[in-house]
Amino acid sequence: MKKINSTSVVLLLFSLLLFSNANSQPMFDLNVISPMSLGNNAPTVIGIGGGIGLYSTAINLSGNKGTSYNKYKTQNYSTYHSTKQPAFCVRFGGDASIANMGYKHLYDMPLLAPESGTSKVYFGNTFFTVNAVAKFYSSCFNSKLLPYGEVFAGLRGYNSNVTIQPDDGSASTSSHIAQSAGVDAGGGAGLLIKLGSIFLDAGVTYTHSEVPGSYADLTTLQRIGNSADMKLQEIPNDYLVYKLGIVALIDGDGTGCSGRSSGSVWSGAFHSCGHILGGGHSHISIHLH
């Protein structure tokens, strides 16, 4: 198991976006995602979250020089840039996403010594991904429809967290119950539909990771005496991630845009039994099994 560092994730994403922006016309993707767990014995978990992506200028793969994208860019650029795409092209870049995979709370949980009093305790699971991506597009009906396929590889993680909020109003304490992250890879398909100056993006991706770990099964959360009790489940290797968003083609001269969208993922775990202590001073009794 490897603990993921949020600073490292940000730096990796920045590097991917910087690379994809090296060409003059990036494609920006903003979307809502819904990851769905596959293939373990626990109940299927469906999450909700969002993602962003940035991709390079299209590389024309159609082999038709007479109607190549380079011609669109050099002749009447402002007109063609936002409306025309190569018959077949590829874009390189990166995306990142995060999703809430479940959330529950308990009230009036007693704090452990040396603290006293009760607290509200919030439990949540988070799924995330940061990936390098290659997207292959074709153009239909004068670039009004752009079906695409994609392949990607990068990082996927899953965190199970607890936040303790004392009822006396003192500072909250946050901690990981379980945490895991590692290499993932996958692919997907979707369709961009032109709507005015942007594209509506609807698609699905499949992500696979062999990184072992566990997450807190919130469907089993209950209070037993003065302790919170729940089961740990093995993180599924496979997830489907559904996405719906908007995509924009950003002109190199900054004068206009058109559109597109993408997605990402979180998964992970660690296991513990006993007292959970976070960044503050409050702690409670939690039993994981």
Nearest to 72 by CA among 225, 252, 268, 287: 252
What pLDDT is attached to residue 251?
56
Report the amino acid identity of residue 248: A
DSSP label at residue 65: G
Of 269, 275, 249, residue with least CA distance to 261: 249
φ, ψ of residue 259 in degrees (nearest 5):
-145, 170
What stretches in the chain show pLDDT beneath 50? Answer: 1-4, 6-7, 10, 18-24, 66-82, 252-279
Indicate left, alpha or beta for 281 from its phi (over 0: left) and psi (-120 to 50: alpha): alpha
Q: Is the Cβ–Cβ distance between 276 and 284 less than 8 Å?
A: yes
Going by C-alpha positions, the residue among 221, 209, 213 that lies closest to residue 159 is 213
Q: Which of 91, 74, 62, 25 is nearest to 258 (CA)?
A: 25
Chain segment 154-174, per-residue pLDDT in tens: 999 999 999 989 988 888 888
DSSP 200-240: EEEEEEEEE-----EEEEEEEEEEETTEEEEEEEEPPSEEE
Digit-coded pLDDT (tens) for 6-25: 445 545 555 555 444 443 46
- For residues 223 and 109, the answer to whether their CB atoms sit within 8 Å is yes
Residue-wise pLDDT for 42-56, tens only, equals 888 999 999 999 999
Which pLDDT belongs to residue 101?
Answer: 94
Which 3 state secondary structure label does DSSP give 257?
A: strand
Distances (CA, A) of 160 to 87, 116, 124, 271: 45, 25, 6, 10
Measure the CA–CA gap between 36 and 286, rounded to whole angstroms. 27
